[in-house]
Amino acid sequence: MADTAIDQVNQSYDDANKTQKNVFDLESFVGDLTVEEDACSDDISLEGLQQELEECKDDDVVTNILSKGVKLREYTKGVENNLRQVELDSIQEYIKESDNLVSLHEQIRDCDNILSQMETLLSGFQAEIGSISADIKVLQEKSMDMGLKLKNRKVAESKLAKFVEEIIVPPRMIDIIVDGEVNDEYLRTLEILSKKLVVAEVDPMIKNSKALKDVQPELEKLRQKAVSKVYDFLVQKLHALRKPKTNIQILQQSVLLKYKYVISFLKDHSKEVYSEVRTAYIDTMNKVLSAHFRAYIQALEKLQLDIATSSDLIGVEARSSGLFLRGREPLKNRSAVFALGDRIKILKEVDEPALIPHIAEASSIKYPYEVLFRSLHKLLMDTATSEYNFCDDFFGEESMFYDIFAGPFAVIDEHFSSILPNSYDAIGLMLMILIIHQHQLIMSRRRIPCLDSYLDKVNIALWPRFKMVFDMHLSSLRNANVKTLWEDDVHPHYVMRRYAEFTASLIHLNVEYGDGQLDLNLERLRMAIDDLLIKLAKTFSKAKSQTVFLINNYDMTISVLKEAGPEGGKILVHFENLLKSNTALFVAKLLAEHFSQLIKFVKTRGSEDLSSNPDRPITVAEVEPLVKDFASRWKAAIELMHKDVITSFSNFLCGMEILRAALTQLLLYYTRLSDCIKRIVGGSALNKDLVSISSIMYEIRKYSRTF
């Protein structure tokens, strides 16, 4: 490689010499020409010379030549001589450095040898690396091939493992299904068996495999064994439900619900057996619950307190109704026929726990039927809610509830059908209607719809019965025998008290329920009692006694309606207006008994203008007897009025109000009389006999203090 470099250097040198010689020959050739010859020559064109000179005017060398006026040929020879001298100097320089060049040549050659060896070595390495690269590429291809095979094998292995797992029947599973007890482990094994049975039916790969033909008989045997075992287990648990004093809800929640998967297993793999279990459960619970409700109803019937019979009506005579002749019940219980009393408390206890009959029986307490009715339906609601939820959780069929409760419903309907036709307690019937309404709200809040139709049916049965009993009360008033009902007593009549208590009770109960039809019926009842009361009042011979009788009855009715609550409405206003009008009538009659002449004079002559009737003026002689009569006995008359009021009116407060109204009216009459006397000529002569207004006011205040 060093020799090659030296040869290249020598070659370059020779080329330079040749080039130099060519340059010199050209110049010598050009040098033979003069500028003038060039300019006159026909072969050389001087066109553009001026432009070139303009372009080269900035060149230092050209400018220097032109400025000196040196001829071109001479200048060329000078340059040639300089180049030759440089060449000679260069040759001498090379000769001088020849040893170094030889040494450099040897070094270059040695380097060339070394590089040649390195080239050989590297070529070997390159060959080896190429071989290794090829090997790596082969290995890479093999690795990719092996990876693909491994992936395929893993997929195949997973599918095969899944296939084997789904189709294989482990000995442990066989032992548990065949010989194991039904417990949590049995349920887990049952789930595994169910999956194998389902996969064998659904998965096409397993369904068409030859392996299934070997395993399928064993799976079928296990299925039959499992079905048989869980059926026996469920039948055993169902028999436990029939045992006396068994808490059904606890058995359902703590035992049966733990094994609800066996029902799912039977549904999926033996619908016939599932139907048998379902039918057995329905039959068992139907009989058990029917027996429980029948026993509970029988126990409740021993606690029943009879409130009313068909003769306990508002318009029926007390003596003929057996009110005082009935010995099987205390007299105090008869007030509940028409008065609500404490019976309304049942509406606040609607959701309280049901009565426990043997505890209530031990305390010898009797209850109105609405209490037993509430207790029975509270038990029904709780039992139905529990059973409805259990059927949904255990069997997944809410509709089973209605098959199960067909028996209990029949038992309750039978009981209710025997009670309702003999119920004449309108207050109790209305309470039962409100109880049913509250129970419907409770079931709605629980979001349990299973009793909707039953409660609607009971409600529909109660309203017609209530309407019938109400109409019986209404008819008793319309058809009442006034002669048998009349008593020679101006105090409130017992029929009116019955009406007042009955109406107040129904008004109070209807506040929350808001039945418009009941309001209309109460209005009809009010019209009937008005007619009857007027007829009873007319049996009194004296008009005053008639008025006192009406006032006493109206006042009593108003008091009862107000005691029941502020919901009297139109009925209360009606009786208040009647009381007001009859009070005014009584006051007029009372004053007429004691001061008829005075009142007659004041009404007829007291308001006359003296100048308007000059022919017949009011004289002292005409007024004097009235003044003296009043002065002589006004206190005694007031005392008689007081005694009359006290004896006539059973309500002391009402009597005092009437007396005060009478005295106030008397004061007005006497004031008008005094004013009239002042206008009479010579009327001052009567001043000594006039009773001062202040004296009368004092007497009125005295009775007001008593009031």
- pLDDT score, position 644: 85
Residue 432: pLDDT band (50, 70, 90) is very high
- pLDDT score, position 275: 92
Cα 684 to chain centroid distance, Å, stands at: 87
Cα distance between residue 301 and residue 629, in whole Å: 73
- pLDDT score, position 26: 36
| pLDDT 10s digits, 619-647 | 777 788 888 888 888 888 888 888 888 88
- pLDDT score, position 330: 38
Residues 84-109 have a mean pLDDT of 86
Q: Which of 317, 385, 323 is nearest to 351 (CA)?
A: 385
CB atoms within 10 A of CB 452: 12
Selected residue with higher pLDDT from 447 and 670: 447
- Over 70: is that where the pLDDT of 49 sits? no
Amino acid (one-letter) located at 140: Q
Q: CA distances (Å), 227 to each of 201, 277, 396, 516, in order?
A: 18, 11, 19, 60
Reading phi first (left if > 0) and then psi (alpha if -120 to 50, else beta), residue 486 is in beta
Residue 196: pLDDT band (50, 70, 90) is confident
Cα distance between residue 136 and residue 154, in whole Å: 26
Q: CA distances (Å), 461 to each of 55, 440, 456, 466, 518, in order?
A: 134, 15, 9, 9, 16
- pLDDT score, position 190: 87
Residue 333 contacts residue 420 (beta carbons within 8 Å)? no
Cα distance between residue 290 and residue 248, in whole Å: 13
- pLDDT score, position 580: 93
- pLDDT score, position 614: 54
Q: What is the mean pLDDT of the chain?
A: 82
For the chain, percent of residues with pLDDT exceeding 70: 82
Residues 493-518 have a mean pLDDT of 88
- pLDDT score, position 296: 94
- pLDDT score, position 7: 52
- Over 70: is that where the pLDDT of 498 sits? yes
- pLDDT score, position 284: 92
| pLDDT 10s digits, 601-613 | 888 876 655 555 5
Look at 81-85, 130-134, 159-163 and tell me which has the smallest mean pLDDT. Answer: 159-163
Question: What is the maximal distance between C-alpha atoms in the chain?
Answer: 198
Residue 187: pLDDT band (50, 70, 90) is confident
Cα distance between residue 603 and residue 672, in whole Å: 9
Selected residue with higher pLDDT from 154 and 499: 499
Residues 678-700 have a mean pLDDT of 79
Look at 130-134, 328-332, 639-643 and tell me which has the smallest mean pLDDT. Answer: 328-332
Residue 431: pLDDT band (50, 70, 90) is very high
| pLDDT 10s digits, 509-528 | 888 777 888 889 999 999 99
Residue 41 contacts residue 150 (beta carbons within 8 Å)? no
Cα distance between residue 107 and residue 601, in whole Å: 176
Quote the tokens at residue 305. Answer: 């307190």
Residues 154-161 have a mean pLDDT of 76
Strand partners, 367: 304
- CB half-sphere exposure, 615, CA atoms < 13 A: 0
Cα distance between residue 567 and residue 558, in whole Å: 12
Cα distance between residue 87 and residue 584, in whole Å: 168
For the chain, percent of residues with pLDDT exceeding 90: 31
Quote the tokens at residue 203. Answer: 């998965």
Reading phi first (left if > 0) and then psi (alpha if -120 to 50, else beta), residue 489 is in beta
- pLDDT score, position 347: 92
- pLDDT score, position 25: 41
Residue 166: pLDDT band (50, 70, 90) is low
Residue 546 contacts residue 642 (beta carbons within 8 Å)? no
Cα distance between residue 529 and residue 559, in whole Å: 17
Residue 203: pLDDT band (50, 70, 90) is low
CB atoms within 10 A of CB 63: 12
Q: Which of 568, 494, 487, 564 is nearest to 529 (CA)?
A: 494
Phi, psi of 681 (to 5 degrees): -65, 125
- Over 90: is that where the pLDDT of 47 sits? no
Look at 107-111, 321-325, 500-504 and tell me which has the smallest mean pLDDT. Answer: 321-325
Cα 521 to chain centroid distance, Å, stands at: 37
- Over 60: is that where the pLDDT of 671 sits? yes
Number of helices (H), then strands (E), belonging to the chain: the values are 27, 0
Cα distance between residue 528 and residue 480, in whole Å: 10
- pLDDT score, position 457: 95
- Over 90: is that where the pLDDT of 377 sits? yes
Specify the pTM: 0.71
Residue 543 contacts residue 593 (beta carbons within 8 Å)? no
| pLDDT 10s digits, 275-327 | 999 999 999 999 999 999 999 999 999 999 888 888 889 988 876 444 444 43
- Over 60: is that where the pLDDT of 329 sits? no
| pLDDT 10s digits, 524-555 | 999 999 999 999 999 998 888 999 999 999 99
Residue 603: DSSP 8-state: I
Residues 678-701 have a mean pLDDT of 79
Residue 260 contacts residue 237 (beta carbons within 8 Å)? no
Look at 73-82, 99-108, 479-488 and tell me which has the smallest mean pLDDT. Answer: 73-82
Which residues touch 387 (CB under 8 Å, ≥6 apart)?
285, 289, 401, 404, 405
CB atoms within 10 A of CB 578: 18
Q: CA distances (Å), 135 to each of 138, 145, 413, 671, in order?
A: 5, 15, 96, 146
- Over 80: is that where the pLDDT of 466 sits? yes
